[in-house]
Amino acid sequence: MERKLPNLIPGADLTGSRIEQLSTPIPVIDEDRLAANIARVQAYMDGQGKAFRPHIKTHKVPALAEQQVAAGAKGINCQKVTEAEIFADAGFDDILITFNILGPEKLERLVALNEQISGLKVAADNDVTVRGLSEAFASASRPLVVLVECDTGGGRCGVQSPEAAQALAEAIVAAPSLTFGGLLTYPKAFSEEAVEVFFSSTLKLLEGKGIACPVVSNGGTPSLFEAGKVTSATEHRAGTYIYNDRAMVRSGHCSYDDCAMHILATVVSRPTEDRAVTDAGSKALTSDLLGFDDFGYVVDYPDAVITGLSEEHGVLDLSKCAPDARPQIGERIRIIPNHTCVVSNLVDHMVFHRNGVVTRVEAVAARGRVW
């Protein structure tokens, strides 16, 4: 028996519907907020004279990357070869993959991708990765551009010192099949000073060795509007800013009114005076806490606290809501998730609207690229 997915009739069928008619739980994106987020960040980067490279992880939708590039973005940032393939096939050429690519299958696909597009770049923070890239590209028709990832305090990947960055840059320069592309970091938010010290120290060392550093790439949305303080950075990468989320509001990057993604949910149970249960569980909101104690901001009931999630249930504590202002069974509520990027990875299609009227349904083309 062939069935249409609920509410997922892309294009004409759904366009023009009211979002109130959509079956819940469902994330929806406000077109005007989306456009304003793109424009505001691009204008800031333009004003700082920095190239801007949006990270597609937040939306995973080629049409949105096209909007970002149309606004002035220099290229895009992916995290996986399999994501980059989707965007290369969609016509993007300037793609930076900010990840250590290891293993025969990924390297084989990377070589093929580098034949397809001329603007491919990857990151490395260790010798093993550089050796693997060097060997994989030994007989490639053009060298692969490799940037050195620096840990400027973020505590994830990255070489630990300017000296180590220099050494790895030298290894890349020495590999005939590779080209040194520059430096990059995914920093701790609001640590612009530390980032600048790391970058400028490394640049000095590279200059001493006569190694040109075409790109110095900083990143992150939370303190994006401080990016100008990293004077040595030539570009900035950010993903979350396009949709924004509760964590970005907390960081001061934006307000709730700048959050383009709402999760529409329905109250399905009111077991007690103080408890509501919605159909938005971890399959709709994800269990990302990002430092919060609860699982999202309830726009319509700001005093409600989403205390627990199972896959298909969200449990709300209403005890701080006034007794006469609590959601009823069947009522629809809007939730701003803690983290939008992970929500995008849960849905095959994303619904966009303007003032509550559906404007388009986009396939989340790079969703589910787990590998």
| Binding residues among 327-356 for a copy of itself as defined by CB under 8 A | 328-330, 341-342, 345-348
Which is nearer to a copy of itself, 284 or 304 (by Cβ)? 284
Among the residue ranges 36-44, 62-70, 156-164, 227-235, the one whose residues contact a copy of itself (CB under 8 A): 156-164
Nearer to a copy of itself, 71 or 122 (CB): 122
Number of residues engaging a copy of itself in binding (CB under 8 A): 72
- Which range in 36-44, 140-148, 214-222, 277-285 contacts a copy of itself by CB under 8 A? 277-285
CA pair distance 313, 304, nearest whole angstrom: 15
The string of DSSP codes covering 242-305 is GT--HHHHHHTS--GGG--EEEEEEEEEEEETTEEEES--HHHH-S--TT-SSS-EETT-TT-E
CB 82 within 8 A of CB 369: yes
Q: Does residue 196 interact with a copy of itself by CB under 8 A?
A: no
> Is residue 291 close enough to count as binding a copy of itself by CB under 8 A?
no
Q: What angle do CA 275, 285, 302 make, to 5 degrees?
A: 50
Residues with Cβ within 8 Å of residue 7, at least 6 apart in sequence: 14, 22, 23, 26, 351
- Applying the rule CB under 8 A, the residues between 125 and 144 that interact with a copy of itself are 125-126, 128-129, 132
State which of residues 39, 43, 70, 102 lies at the interface with a copy of itself (CB under 8 A): 102
The residues that bridge with 280 in the sheet, in sequence order, are: none
* Spatial contact of 52 and 88, defined as CB atoms under 8 Å apart: no
Residues 6-25 that bind a copy of itself (CB under 8 A): 6-7, 21-25
Given the rule CB under 8 A, which of 34-42, 63-71, 155-163, 200-208 is the region that contacts a copy of itself? 155-163
* 85 near a copy of itself, judged by CB under 8 A: yes
Whole-angstrom distance, CA of residue 289 vs CA of residue 337? 9
Within 10 angstroms of residue 101's Cβ, the number of other Cβ atoms is: 20
Q: Can residue 99 be called a binding residue for a copy of itself (CB under 8 A)? A: yes
Give least dist CB 293 to a copy of itself, A.
Answer: 12
Q: Which of 269, 302, 320, 357 binds a copy of itself (CB under 8 A)?
A: 269
Closest contact distance (angstroms) between CB of 3 and a copy of itself is 6
CB of 71 or CB of 94, closer to a copy of itself: 94
209 burial level (CB within 10 Å; 0-12, 13-18, 19+): exposed
Q: Does 325 bind a copy of itself (CB under 8 A)?
A: no
Q: How far is the CB of 103 from a copy of itself (least distance, A)?
A: 6
Binders of a copy of itself in range 25-84 (CB under 8 A) = 25-26, 57, 79-80, 82
- d(C-alpha 105, C-alpha 111), whole Å: 10
Residue 339 identity (one-letter amino acid): H
Cα 201 to Cα 163: distance, rounded to the nearest angstrom: 9
Contact between 1 and a copy of itself per CB under 8 A? yes
Planar angle of CA 278, 289, 24, nearest 5 degrees: 25
Segment (H or E) for 179: strand 178-185
Please tell me whether residue 313 binds a copy of itself under the rule CB under 8 A: yes
**Bridge partners for 360 per DSSP:** 352
Least Å from the CB of residue 216 to a copy of itself: 19
Nearer to a copy of itself, 56 or 336 (CB): 56
Q: Which of 40, 229, 250, 275 binds a copy of itself (CB under 8 A)?
A: 275
Peptide bond into 25 cis (omega under 30): yes
